[in-house]
Amino acid sequence: MNVVFKPDETFRDDFTFRNSPEAIRRFPLPFPEDRYMYSVNIEEHLPGPPGSVIEFPIDIDEHYVAECRERALVLAEEPRRFQALPHMMSSQWDCLELIMESLARDYPQHFALERRGSRWVWTNRPLQIHQTFTFGDPATLPQEPLEYITRQAQGDWVVMDQREGDLWCEAGMVTTQADWSLDFDMGMSFKEWHGPVPLAHEMGVFDRALKFLLNLRLNEPVRRLNWTMTIHPRLDTSPENYYKWGPDRATVTPQNAGNKAHLRVELQGLWRLPRSNAIVFSIRAYLISMQELVTVPKWARRVHRVLRDLHPALVDYKGLSRYRDAVVEYLAPFDDGAPTSPGTAPE
Amino acid sequence: MNHADTIVVRVVAIEQVTPQIKHFTLAPAAGGNFPAFSGGSHIIVVMRGVNRIHRNPYSLMSSPGQLETYEVSVRRMEQSRGGSHFMHDQVQVGNELEIAHPVNLFPLDKIARKHLLIAGGIGITPFMAQLADLRTAGVPYELHYATRSPEHCAFGGLLSEREPGRVQKYYDCTGELIDFEGLLSNQPLGTHVYVCGPAPMIEKVVATARERGWPDSHIHWEQFSAPPVGDAFDVYLARSSLKVHVVPDQSLLESIEAAGVEVPYLCRGGVCGFCRTKVVEVDGTLVHNDHFLSDEEKASGKTIMPCVSRARCSKLVLDL
Amino acid sequence: MLITGIKSKPVYAPLQPDLRGRYHLMVGHGVGGEPLLRVLGDLQTAAPSSGAHTQILYVTDAAAADSITGQIRAAKVANVRLFERGDELLAAFQAVLAGSLMGTRLYVAGPESFMGLVMRIALQFNLNKDEIRAEECGTLARRVYCIHCCSATENVRTNITQCGCGRWLVVRDHYSRRLAAYMGVMVDAEAPGELPPVKEVFL
Ligand code: FES
């Protein structure tokens, strides 16, 4: 697929990020029904329909170049957004291989990988990178392998080591997150890491998810969707920079919600890594403004209902308390009460 | 969770490394490289015999850094029910087999401060690949390897060459025994012990380590049971409304599969717990041969691991 | 944002001797001396010869009665070392672990902020939850990591606290064993200047 990039979009300051009509049509709405509650909604990461965000294991879209630049800006200010404990080196190479292989195979017009034994040549045309290196030798790359490759990939990447019947968050590149900190959570077990999530622990969600993931197999990746909301198309809503984006939450009104409030959907993919036996967790954020969302009538009705009836603990956890009502008011005129068809397709 | 995507492999070399062990080198039939893996992984080898299919787990022995071939070693089981005999007697260079993607149920602990590896006989196999990982990891390690005699010491020469000063060999014939007590009493904090070999050796290492105060999270062992031969019996699959006859030298899992019913599995050796199946009714006793269920769970008779366990009864009903 | 009830907050329990251990290393601070003496007594009752394999490292503190220090000094174990400052104990503790063998059990008692620093060192030696027991006593004052400037403030007793970087932080129950600290997040980011009343909560 030939992606036409929009290299000048921004995710800060003047926020010029927009979705093209095609990007809206392929937006991964996470609500198959008019109401939302947690579930262990993990499914096999099998190829989806052509053009969808799950057509390929790792999706590249029109925002690719702009997102990579945004990541570089974050890292320039805060190098700690990439971290890896020393025992994670083999998993870093695993991730590099996974991403390079996928992109080169699925987007040959944009990426190429040539492997001659351990001598690899990587070409990234959109970012104009051409790199020869020795697989397994970190000295032959400008950054550590995981940092190097995730500077050229959309979404956040966390690598979990598996031991003692648990998964440990011990490497990652996290610059586009919904309010959690890699710096703080480094070294945590699966449940410690998810500690701040309300309700789900009591529902046994993490027990079941952990058990499932410990048995994740090579070549059989899985995925799930998660969501929250963000004011402005801001990718970096980290706790580190809360003081920068927190004030935005108090500025939403029913009049400006269409432009300001964005649904933020995370397509989360999980792969068992071969050399390290670790698991990589990719968290890819897709943003859509309410204004863009209501161009699909079914989605306007559905998101209106989901937000209106959301459990109070989730309203708080997702940080919606200050502006949920304004968004619901904005969406209300688009909901005529008509039933919505099952599933998430536009109609 | 069944292996729809097996890899077809060609046998490119067979070597008789000891009187009982044959070593097989496999290459992808379609050319190219095998998938990468980590030391301690096993593959399931699918052998299509004349009127039955064997699926046996074997540890990958080749170096994870070399993916043109995979290597496995197979010990001829005296009381075999087929798999190892098939590998020893039927498989020739040039033959094709199928394998499933590697799975690691015996991984090295990545934050260990030292690795202590203990192998008995054919139990050396998972360590061969782990040693390749350890050589570049920069963490202290040592291997203690017991066999019947130098003649039975598969890969002894290779190990001495690759791991100078790090391997200690012990031969039963000269009365050399591994001093488990001494070994496990004197290890620095943060050591992990790994043992693979005959059941009595594993039991001894686990018991000694526990007795010397090692927590279970630092004790790792792997033992794939071959499904033992037993009496014939009938099994009824309640949800599929099928009756299946299990002959003495075929496992319960194999018999169920032969009837066209799929049961999820990873190890086929009683270790992973994947094949756990609910018992609806049994008019005799279950013969549990797995290492997964606790003694209480075995006694309760509510579930069974069909990859290695069977029943002594005339009628067993499973929730399948 | 969840402030309390977060599952990463450590759970402590009264110290019990672990008779499966071969070596017993007891580390305490101030009022933590009491539980150490109690578990030492229980251990020696259950395993009379264990004293030869037991060591105690202890920080004396004005908060603890002198009699406790006296009893610890007189304990019949292989080695007792008293320190006036926590950091001195931590340095000695690290050296002891470097020479320790598998089979060691660690017993820690004292304020959480002290235990966190002890356990952070234990973590580097790959001691895990099966090898460590911890009993919390004394002040609940917290070590707080400012997520914005990446520095830690010691001895926080209040629900909100001002960090060295000038920001007012709300202290969440989210705890990192690696940093030995709770997470502090700016409290008035969404409405600058709107601070909740300062309350002493970690006493
Ligand atoms: S398949 Fe692993 S226990 Fe049966």
Measured over the CA atoms of residue B52, residue B53, residue B57 and residue B62, the dihedral's sign is positive
Q: Encode B40-67: b = buried (16+ Cβ within 10 Å), e = exposed.
A: bbbbbbbbeeeebebbbbbbbbbbbeeb
Measured over the CA atoms of residue C85, residue C87, residue C88 and residue C92, the dihedral's sign is positive
Cα–ligand 1 centroid distance for A255 (angstroms): 60
Shortest CA distance to C128 belongs to which of B219, A293, A223? B219
- Identify whether residues C132 and C88 lie together within a single domain: yes
Read off the tokens for B155. 């890969």
Q: How far is CA A344 from the centre of its chain?
A: 19
Q: Which of A136, A162, A274 sits opposite B37 (nearest CB)?
A: A274
Give yes or no for a contact between B67 and B48, defined as CB atoms under 8 angstroms apart. no
How many other CB atoms are there within 10 angstroms of residue C13's CB atom?
Answer: 9
- pTM recorded for the entire structure: 0.92
Average pLDDT on A139-155 reads 98
Shortest CA distance to C180 belongs to which of C128, C124, C131, C112? C112
What pLDDT score was predicted for residue A37?
83
The answer to whether residue A283 scores a pLDDT higher than 80 is yes
Average pLDDT on C13-23 reads 96
Cα–ligand 1 centroid distance for A269 (angstroms): 27
CB of B272 within 6 A of ligand 1: the answer is: yes
Domain with C95 in it: what CATH number? 3.40.50.80
The answer to whether residue C65 scores a pLDDT higher than 80 is no
What pLDDT score was predicted for residue B205?
98
Q: How far apart are CA B223 and CA B196, in angstroms?
A: 6
CB of B134 within 6 A of ligand 1: the answer is: no
- Identify whether residues C51 and C128 lie together within a single domain: yes
Domain boundaries, chain B: 6-104, 114-222, 233-318
Q: Does any CB of chain C come closer than 8 Å to the CB of residue B189?
A: yes
Q: Which of B5, B35, B38 sits opposite A277 (nearest CB)?
A: B38
Average pLDDT on C146-163 reads 95
Q: Does any CB of chain B come closer than 8 Å to the CB of residue C25?
A: no
Q: What's the gap in Å between the CA of A187 and the closest CA on chain C? A: 6
Q: What's the gap in Å between the CA of B134 and the closest CA on chain A? A: 12
> Is there a domain that residue C18 lies in?
no
The answer to whether residue C64 scores a pLDDT higher than 90 is no
Of B3, B252, B307, B309, the one to substitute when testing ligand 1's pocket (max ligand atoms within 8 A of C-beta) is B307
Shortest CA distance to C161 belongs to which of C144, C138, C182? C144
pLDDT in tens, A287-325: 999 999 999 999 999 999 999 999 998 898 899 999 999
CB of B270 within 6 A of ligand 1: the answer is: yes
Q: Which of A25, A224, A249, A308 is catalytic?
A: A224
Residues in chain B: 320
**Hey, which chains touch B, using 3+ CB pairs under 8 Å?**
A, C
Tell me, yes or no, if A208 is annotated catalytic. Answer: no
Q: What's the gap in Å between the CA of C172 and the closest CA on chain A? A: 9
The answer to whether residue A248 scores a pLDDT higher than 50 is yes
The mean-pLDDT minimum among A11-15, A35-39, A306-310, C139-143 falls in A35-39
CATH code that applies to domain B114-222: 3.40.50.80
Query: What are residue A24's phi and psi, to 5 degrees?
Result: -65, -45
Is C176 within 8 Å of A185 when comparing Cβ atoms?
yes
Query: Could you give the ipTM of this predicted complex?
Result: 0.93
Number of inter-chain CB pairs under 8 A, A vs C: 82
Q: Could you write out the three-class secondary structure of chain C?
A: CCCCCCCCCCCCCCCCCCCCCCEEEEEEEHHHHHHHHHHHHHHHHHCHHHHHHEEEEEECCCCCCHHHHHHHHCCCCCEEEEECCHHHHHHHHHHHHHCCECCEEEEEEECHHHHHHHHHHHHHCCCCCCCEEEEECCCCCEEEEECCCCCEEEEECECEEECCCCCEEEEEEEEECCCCEEEEEECCCCCCCCCCCCCECCC
Mean pLDDT for chain C?
A: 94
Greater model confidence, A139 or A201: A139
Please report, for residues A130, A142, B31, the alpha-carbon distance to residue A126 in angstroms, rounded to integers and kept in the order given: 11, 19, 32
**How many folded domains does chain C comprise?**
2
Is B107 within 8 Å of A162 when comparing Cβ atoms?
yes
User: Residues in chain C whose beta carbon is closer than 8 A to a beta carbon of chain A?
Assistant: 1-2, 5-9, 123, 128, 145, 147-148, 150, 167, 172-179, 183, 185-186, 189-192
> Is there a domain that residue C202 lies in?
no
Read off the tokens for B34. 């095998």
Q: Which of A215, A218, A276 sits opposite B35 (nearest CB)?
A: A218
Q: Does any CB of chain A come closer than 8 Å to the CB of residue B238?
A: no
> In sequence order, which residues have a C-beta less than 8 Å from that of residue C91 and are 6 or more positions away?
none
Q: How far apart are CA A305 and CA A33, in angstroms?
A: 9
What is the architecture of the domain spanning B6-104?
Answer: Beta Barrel (2.40)
Is C150 within 8 Å of A183 when comparing Cβ atoms?
yes
Domain boundaries, chain A: 21-334
- Identify whether residues C42 and C115 lie together within a single domain: yes
Residue A66: in which H helix or E strand, if any?
Answer: helix A64-77
Read off the tokens for C154. 């010691």
What pLDDT score was predicted for residue B80?
62
CB of B292 within 6 A of ligand 1: the answer is: yes
Q: How far apart are CA C116 and CA C177, in angstroms?
A: 7
What pLDDT score was predicted for residue B52?
82
What pLDDT score was predicted for residue B1?
36
Shortest CA distance to C156 belongs to which of C118, C164, A181? C164
pLDDT-based confidence at C7, cuts 50/70/90?
Answer: confident
Q: Does any CB of chain C come closer than 8 Å to the CB of residue B79?
A: no
DSSP tag of A199: T
Q: How far apart are CA B60 and CA B138, in angstroms?
A: 22
What pLDDT score was predicted for residue B4?
52
Q: Mean pLDDT, consecutive 10-residue segments, chain B of 320 residues?
A: 73 94 96 95 90 89 95 85 85 95 95 97 95 92 95 90 93 94 97 96 97 96 83 93 91 92 89 91 92 90 94 92
The residue type of A29 is L
Q: Which residue has the tokens 């990192």?
A: C176
pLDDT in tens, C67-84: 899 999 999 999 999 999
CATH code that applies to domain B233-318: 3.10.20.30
Domain that holds residue C174: 142-186
Q: What's the gap in Å between the CA of A192 and the closest CA on chain C? A: 4
**Hey, which chains touch A, using 3+ CB pairs under 8 Å?**
B, C
Is A316 within 8 Å of C1 when comparing Cβ atoms?
yes
Q: How far apart are CA B12 and CA B92, in angstroms?
A: 9
Is C5 within 8 Å of A198 when comparing Cβ atoms?
yes
What pLDDT score was predicted for residue C142?
95
Read off the tokens for B70. 């995979």
Mean pLDDT for chain A?
A: 95
Average pLDDT on A84-100 reads 97
The residue type of A239 is P
Cα–ligand 1 centroid distance for B271 (angstroms): 5
